Structure 1
Amino acid sequence: MYPTIDVENTKNKLSTVLSEYYIQRVELGEVHPDLEDKIQLFISAKKLEGLSPFTLDNYLMELSMFADIVKRKAEDITTADVRMYLSQDGNIRMSTIRKKSSVLKSFFSWLASEEYIKRDPTTNIKAPKDEYRLPKSLSIEELELLRES
């Protein structure tokens, strides 16, 4: 019913093919080297586009924080991973989440356009709404001055 497999022959073929590659195990808890490489390529590309050193430093810092949390190959990162990263700290302002989201969207759209990844995991992530701030009301003294004028 099942086909017979020549185990020795298969091992030899596999050994021959794998001998052409350098394979290194990624330990749990480490940032995947693939993601680090992709971040460096992205920063280099943006440097050539003429972005300011300040912007490049911010991009690198934000992407490094993301890589420290996610710890996966770039092509294995999902929308859920990005959402988890953006929502992990409930005490940050919406403007900070918007900045983080913007950097990640830029990075992953660049990876997709350069064909390093097949699908951009940030396409379904929408920018958070602006925080609504109540207008500052006039004090009693200011109201009285306004009434008298």
Structure 2
Amino acid sequence: MTDLHTDVERYLRYLSVERQLSPITLLNYQRQLEAIINFASENGLQSWQQCDVTMVRNFAVRSRRKGLGAASLALRLSALRSFFDWLVSQNELKANPAKGVSAPKAPRHLPKNIDVGRYESAAGY
């Protein structure tokens, strides 16, 4: 059993060396995973084995309440699922507690109407 930070550092090293992700992508993963480390520490977790679906859901709810947008929350949960999948592959976890947790749907925006006159002038009529 290793501490929370050590596992994240090992995962980031894996992403850098094995997957050869760009420095910007690594920084994004690091930021997202630091947020869950902070949340886990605040809730008394000593290791990732103590993390369950309820904790992941609570983390998502808290992130949303702090103003994180739907797309950003989806990114955060994706990074978390990927990290937990890696922990499962390393035999550190039996199952991925973030597997069934999904982010809220991002709002869709309809295209703006175009004025017929503008369309005709753009089309050369």
> CA offsets, 1:77-122, max 9 Å, x none?
1111111112213433211111001100100010011101122101
Cα distance in 2 for residues equivalent to 1:51 and 1:130: 26
**Match among 88, 98, 111 for residue 122 of structure 1:** 98
C-alpha RMSD of matched pairs (Å): 2.0
Cα distance in 2 for residues equivalent to 1:40 and 1:126: 25
**Match among 66, 81, 89 for residue 113 of structure 1:** 89
Q: Which has the higher contact order (CA 8 A, sep 6+)?
A: 2
Aligned CA distance change for structure 1 residues 40 and 145 (closer, same or farther; 3 Å)? closer
Q: Which has the larger radius of gyration?
A: 1
Asked if 1:40 corresponds to 2:40, the answer is no
SS in structure 2 opposite 1:87? helix
* Alignment partner, residue 116 of structure 2: 143
Residue correspondences, number: 114
SS in structure 2 opposite 1:109? helix
Counterpart code for 2:91: E
- Alignment gaps of 5+ in structure 2: none
Aligned CA distance change for structure 1 residues 147 and 44 (closer, same or farther; 3 Å)? closer
Equivalences for 1:1-149 in 2 at 5 Å? 34-49=3-18, 50-71=20-41, 72=45, 73-88=47-62, 89-90=64-65, 91-138=67-114, 142-146=115-119, 149=125
Question: How far off its partner does 1:145 sit?
Answer: 4.4
Higher relative helix content: 2
Moved over 6 A (4+): none
Counterpart code for 2:3: D
Give TM-score, length-normalised by structure 2. 0.79
Counterpart code for 1:61: R
Aligned CA distance change for structure 1 residues 108 and 145 (closer, same or farther; 3 Å)? closer
> CA offsets, 1:54-98, max 9 Å, x none?
111111111111111121111101111111112213433211111
Cα distance in 1 for residues equivalent to 2:26 and 2:16: 7
Identity %: 25
Cα distance in 2 for residues equivalent to 1:56 and 1:147: 48
